[in-house]
Structure 1
Amino acid sequence: MRMVIGNGLSFEKRSPRVTIWNEYIHERTDPQIAKVYPKGIHIALAEGLQPYGFLLRTATLEMLEHGLTKETLEQTDVLIWWGHLAHEQVSDEIVNRIQARVLQGMGLIVLHSGHRSRIFQRLMGTTCDLKWREDARRERLWVVDPAHPITAGIGQYIEVEPEEMYGEFFDIPAPERLVFISWFHGGEVFRSGCEYQRGLGKIFYFRPGHEAYPTYYNKDVLRVIANAVRYVGAPHGATPTYGEVKPLEV
């Protein structure tokens, strides 16, 4: 679709192309988790995001090249990442490939225990470690940047119950924009919605989503992820050139 604005200026508007990656181990090995996500977390996310009109595909660890071939990533505007048990099974080649695409402008959304994924650690340059407690109680995610587009349609906070606790200190670089902080019943707080930019690519880390709980059926959680897709997948400017260049004509 071509839209015209202002003095005849135009831009192309199309639905973001989204690849949802899930290691897809818990759901195939743990009957209790299979009851929560019988088709896998990746399918639950795809079904939850389908009403937003995105062009969706899914990929899992066991697929050839983890489902993230060069062609797939070249056709991806936003990569959503969920992992937990098998971070070290993701190959160097794929980590390098994702990093290159982020630097070129692909958006990346990292969910829950994806904080320890090799790609997130690579892009952050830190351990990305934290405190945790799996106690199946309440999480309240407070909006601390209501002007941010990722919070569109969300009230002052999101209530998620039950959810696993993550607590500070969270070993990440200071977020370029902090969108959410979480409070848990044990008194812990956590930087749970963090934005970064690497090269031309935007990155958003969003905390909720423990595999044993139905968090990815929560409409507010899905709304945040959908908003994040639009935000990190927005078009960027011209790709810069490097190295020796000829002088411009003046």
Structure 2
Amino acid sequence: MPGGGLRGSARRRSSRPRTAGRPRRSARPDGKAFRLSRFRPGAGVGDSRDMLHGPPLRRSGRAMELNLEQAFDGPVDLSSRFEIPLAVLDRPELLSLGRVEFSGRLQRMENGFLLRGKLAFAGEVACSRCLSPVPFERTQEVAWLFTPAHLKAATQEERELSGEELDVVFYDALSFPFDPFVEEQLQLEIPMKPLCREGCRGLCPECGADLNAAPCTCGAAPDGRWESLKDLLPDRSS
């Protein structure tokens, strides 16, 4: 099947087919759900003739639209920058996120279009123990196989026979928002439970002081469960 080289994309968590143009909830690395940006099925289809001679990725309102028509006559290179609001990702540990750089190549295949590329981004997350900022950088190779929706049954049967793990996306329109695919990759690559250092001592549970900066002056609270046993101890004062 075309696009067989998609196997082994770094840290791929899901290979289930999906349909472009529909909002999707996916599992975050911590097992919770994250919401991808909502967009209308077929959004921007009315502009497809105007986009035929435009760039394969272009801004349409707030969404970055991918136009598959650009690769009808041959492979096309594309690049773009995304500014993803923190609120969209809904990750409390994410303190900041810079621009997301994407570059790739879109080419027509026998049963659709293959988009291979690379995402690069950087930001800061909170240390899972002391909450201090922890910088991170990621460069991630990505790939999607976009297949017409009417080929869904045949594609699924072929995948079952071949056993290949393909990230297949079924589309009803040749132009659709690309932002949700970028957001999904960000969710998978944002560090989980990061540490500012291997031996981070965290925060004092009583006063909240950073134990990495100085020892805490809070005394250990006595455990009241043992108070009744004091009377059983021998009196050592005599």
Normalised TM-score (structure 2): 0.27
Relative to the length of structure 1, the TM-score reads 0.27
Greater Rg by CA: 2
Q: Which structure would you say has the larger RCO, counting Cα contacts within 8 Å and 6 or more residues apart?
A: 2
Q: Please state which structure has a larger fraction of its residues in helix.
A: 1
